[in-house]
Structure 1
Amino acid sequence: MLLTKQLKIINRVSARAFSAKEVPQFTKDRYPVKRGNYNALNDHDISHFESILEKHRVLTGSDTDMYNIDWIKSVRGASNVVLKPKTTEEVSEIVKYCHAQKLAVVPQGGNTGLVGGSVPVFDEVVISMSLMNKIEHIDEYSGIVRCQSGVVLEKLESAVNEKGLIVPLDLGSKGTCHIGGNVSTNAGGLRLIRYGNLHGSVLGVEAVLANGKILNLMSNFKKDNTGYHLKHLFIGSEGSLGIVTKLALHCPTAPNAVNLAFVGLESFQQVLNAFLLAKKELGEILSSVEMIDEPSLMASTTMCNLQSPIQKYPFYMIFETSGSNDEHDKEKLNNFLKNAMEKSIIVDGVATNEPSKMRNIWESRERIAESLLKMGYCFKYDISLPLSNFYDIVGAVRERVGSHAKLVSGYGHVGDSNMHLNIVCEKFSQEIYKLVEPFVFEYTSKLKGSISAEHGIGFHKPKYLHYSKSPEAIELMKQIKNLMDPENILNPYKVLPLS
């Protein structure tokens, strides 16, 4: 390797900690929200659900606790029942009944979201997709995978790897999140710069509508230009228009050669310079570009007992290449690193193609979110910003919150302009909440950015949707919602503003 620093191999820790120090307040108490005009669950409803599902797949009482709280512990519902179907037909029967009885429902995958989109706000019926976890078919010739929506992303990745394929999506939560939840939120992740978003990779879906009808939009072809592309209504709609139960996903051929570089830089301007040089010199083999600031890496290494691959710098970047010829790719990566160091863009770093070392490097990035939660309550913002102003918001928020915050940091997918902004404080308080919202969204809007890059709108952001969408666009969304779910039983209080 051209770089002098060496990475000390560390043991990978796979567990994701739910580490907030206390159970959050009920959402209805923390935020100003009024319960919709829905019926309350009763014993007859429970009995009916038990007639659809086996009794052990109808959870009540304390068994529902973990389904009522999101993993960052920012919201908490009060659902009295969690249903665990195994088939689309069971989901259909559940939703048909809820529609007739005017019971609100919340579909839930791995519950790894950051905007409160997959947990109840009040006493909605939770439909957990965890038992809908079958991979039905993998076609190694076309690269098309058909599976149920409850398949864990990491399990899907392992299965397609055996066929020489790769899932076009990689997330830090891959050991827990469901592919259906990824589709429903249009998750982005680490590979978007190479493979694009899920609107391009998802070939078809099967979904249960608000009245319980099953809509089959599955397809085995990348080219299927027959009428309106209705599948796109469900990609990113967060279960508010229908519950995705199956999907067809195009998985590209897995690369034969993967190389990784972790580098240190002195300024954000050098981050931009490094990204520009990487695009020019690595071209078609560039598969991921990540930026991490020093406070984020400090949190990851300190709170998760990890070791930084290199010494301390204000900024770090990860460059991943994926190709078919290892010698060719290594040479290109080494030449890029050499040129970047000669131009004083990169100060220091490590490069490797050893799987264990690459896993350890990625771990320092993927566990940042977990580490920040271990430090206290974390306000997390997922936004898209112009690269020229990408990091400015971190300084602006630091100045605004001052001593109220223990730490303000930024990291994310610089390759696709996606910033993860974090404000860590001792505990949630209305004072800090009012300092950061709507300030973060106003700041983003002034730069013509997006208030949600890849995690959706969920419960936290509907009232801020106007910062990214015009009144005409929001009105059309409401009309689509009213057409497809006139009783508003599917994931209420989410995605669209209430007024």
Structure 2
Amino acid sequence: MKIRHNVKRGNYGFLDSKDISFFESVIGKRNLLQEDLDGYNVDFLRSVCGNSQLVLKPGSVKEVSAILKYCNERKLAVCPQGGNTGLVGGSVPICDEIILSLQRINRIISIDQITGITVCESGCILENLDNKTREVGLVVPVDLGAKSSCYIGGNVSTNAGGLRVLRYGNLHGSVLGVEAVLASGQIIDLMSDFKKDNTGYHLKHLFIGSEGTLGVITKISLLCPPKSDAVHLAFLGLSSFDHVLRTFINAKRYLGEILSSCEMIDAGSLEASVSHFKLNAPIQGYPFYMLIESSGSNASHDLEKFNEFLENGMKNGEILDGTVTAELSKIQDIWKLRELVPVALVNNGYCFKYDISLPLREFYNIVNVMQDRVGDLAKCVCGYGHLGDSNLHLNISCEKFTEELYNRIEPFVFEYTCKVKGSISAEHGIGFLKRNYLKYSKSPESIKMMRSLKKFLDPNGILNPYKVLN
């Protein structure tokens, strides 16, 4: 669909032939695109579409620096872009911003097997980076359904969460340092090789989760934990969300330190994944499902703990059916059921997607509330997500976008989230689509401070305008 948002263009400069000549002198003509830019202008959900006439693909931090310095002097707006897998319109232009693609800045610089520290450039594809770390017995501490196309720089700039935040925490704890380029072109070296570096303000945190509005991340130092020798995955069927909560409590109690992921899928989410991709689910016919993963070092010990956990859940009537496997191919097949849900839901019409954090007792209530609120205007209202860190992905799918359904959903969904003291964004960021709703999760004083930081680091407002702050 075409962009449905009316935005007044900011007071920025307009591209001319002299600008093109300068950019060609910096990165070469072959790394400058002016045609067939739809893939760069349109977001994954096809709900935001910009009108950029230029994509630049620098190959080094010095080239990024030169580009931003020039754009700042000319007051040309810039949209940094990684793999363009975001779901809040944060990685595409809103008007005619120049797209700064990090695709070519993609070197893996070093992987230290002893310390676990991996240093890489921001354009590395997450899956490729993880495969390289696994070769030396490590893993990247973030895992997403979009791992085959998203960039680690985009993950850091949005503070992406993913499937194993329960085990490894979010990226604020795993990123040891960053290199970033400010709007002025100044290169800021905030790299570090230490988990403990308590020397003044932790400036790296300004860029983690800032969505390219304060600076462009070009290099990252990441602490990668050891790869687990023994992984088990259970796929469980349950009759109620109350039983889901009890099972989660028992998973923490019985699995303890080996618990690495705890996901919930409702029936509507599983059906979308199974039917669209022709997948085979180990069990079906239940209103709720859970994927519970353990990662440890002793397979027999871990399986014993897993079996004790499952036996207790089935004895109490909380788990109705399930399967557990340590076979890699079966583990991958089961994870596909969860990872492909978001793609399945957008491939048959239009889907409104909301990434929110909610208190666990309120975790699923919003799905029922929205079902009642939208009624027959939607084909399906469903929810899935990271139960282990209170992150629900609410999806409302329909044949096509309509203003009637849109107005029925927003701003109500954010008002409800605020009412139960949740967060309007758990891991996808604010981007463009949520900028008007930031007030539901941040106080006026906090937003004022955010504006002050933006003004200080990017006084001309050229970096990813129209995003995060309205």
Same fold (TM over 0.5): yes
- The alignment's C-alpha RMSD in Å is 0.7
Q: Aligned ranges for residues 35-74 of structure 1 at < 5 Å?
A: 35-62=9-36, 64-74=37-47
Match in the other structure for 1:298: 271
Match in the other structure for 1:9: none
Deviations 1:24-79 (A, max 9, x none): 213xxx113211000111121111111111211100022x1110001111110000
Which residue identity lines up with residue 219 of structure 1 in the other structure?
A: S
Of the candidates 220, 224, 233, which is equivalent to residue 206 of structure 2?
A: 233
Per the TM alignment, residue 264 of structure 1 is displaced from its structure 2 partner at its CA by 0.2
Distance 2:371 2:282 in 1: 27
Match in the other structure for 1:134: 107
Determine helix, strand or coil for the equivalent of 1:96.
helix
If the length of structure 1 is used for normalisation, what is the TM-score? 0.94
Match in the other structure for 1:286: 259
Match in the other structure for 1:224: 197
Deviations 1:349-374 (A, max 9, x none): 11000000000000010000010011
Distance 2:410 2:88 in 1: 14
Residue 410, structure 1, aligned to residue 383, structure 2: yes
Distance 1:411 1:37 in 2: 41
Of the candidates 231, 250, 256, which is equivalent to residue 277 of structure 1?
A: 250
Match in the other structure for 2:308: 335
Deviations 1:216-245 (A, max 9, x none): 000111111111100000000000000000
Distance 2:20 2:293 in 1: 50
Distance 1:211 1:309 in 2: 55
Determine helix, strand or coil for the equivalent of 1:61.
coil
If the length of structure 2 is used for normalisation, what is the TM-score? 0.99
Match in the other structure for 1:254: 227
Runs of at least 4 residues off by over 4 Å: none
Q: Aligned ranges for residues 69-84 of structure 1 at < 5 Å?
A: 69-84=42-57
Which residue identity lines up with residue 236 of structure 2 in the other structure?
A: V
Distance 1:310 1:423 in 2: 24
Distance 1:167 1:419 in 2: 23
Gaps of 5+ in 1: 1-23
Residue 191, structure 1, aligned to residue 167, structure 2: no
Aligned length: 470
Of the candidates 443, 447, 451, which is equivalent to residue 478 of structure 1?
A: 451
Q: Aligned ranges for residues 436-455 of structure 1 at < 5 Å?
A: 436-455=409-428
Distance 1:137 1:289 in 2: 32
Which residue identity lines up with residue 381 of structure 2 in the other structure?
A: V
Which residue identity lines up with residue 41 of structure 1 in the other structure?
A: L
Match in the other structure for 1:25: 2
Of the candidates 395, 405, 426, which is equivalent to residue 422 of structure 1?
A: 395
Distance 2:6 2:49 in 1: 14
Residue 123, structure 1, aligned to residue 96, structure 2: yes
Of the candidates 109, 112, 118, which is equivalent to residue 145 of structure 1?
A: 118
Determine helix, strand or coil for the equivalent of 1:494.
coil
Indicate if the aligned counterparts of 2:2 and 2:46 stay in contact, CA closer than 8 A: no
Q: Aligned ranges for residues 102-121 of structure 1 at < 5 Å?
A: 102-121=75-94
Determine helix, strand or coil for the equivalent of 1:332.
helix
Distance 2:197 2:360 in 1: 35
Match in the other structure for 1:171: 144
Distance 1:394 1:155 in 2: 35
Match in the other structure for 1:3: none
Per the TM alignment, residue 430 of structure 1 is displaced from its structure 2 partner at its CA by 1.4
Indicate if the aligned counterparts of 2:383 and 2:394 stay in contact, CA closer than 8 A: yes
Instruction: Give identity over the alignment, percent.
Output: 61
Which residue identity lines up with residue 347 of structure 2 in the other structure?
A: K
Match in the other structure for 1:307: 280
